[in-house]
Amino acid sequence: MGASRQTLTIEIVVATGFLLLAALGFRRSLWLVAVAIIGHGVFDSVHHLFIENPGVPIWWPGFCLGFDGILGGWVALCLVRRSNPPLYSSD
């Protein structure tokens, strides 16, 4: 963190929102987990428009969007595959 206590408070509130969405997803629907992961990446990519924090490295938004986008997409793909069993079996 390279900013004020107010910035830290905003960061904690936003992080808590993503944490609650993911926790709710584990209890209700794993689709919420996928959405929370992708949403976090998107949020980090536009973070600078809402929260001024000079402690965030310049490369972080792109890295986070890429990582969270891939991870969230993988979780979504796993959910789609789980809900659509194969049409044939090799057994």
**CA dist., res. 13 & res. 20, Å (int):** 10
**Token couple for 59:** 């490369």
**CA dist., res. 76 & res. 88, Å (int):** 22
Residues 40-44: what's their mean pLDDT? 91
Report the pLDDT value the prediction gives residue 11, as an integer from 0 to 100: 82
**Token couple for 83:** 């809900």
Give the residue with greater pLDDT, 86 vs 20: 20
Report the pLDDT value the prediction gives residue 37, as an integer from 0 to 100: 92
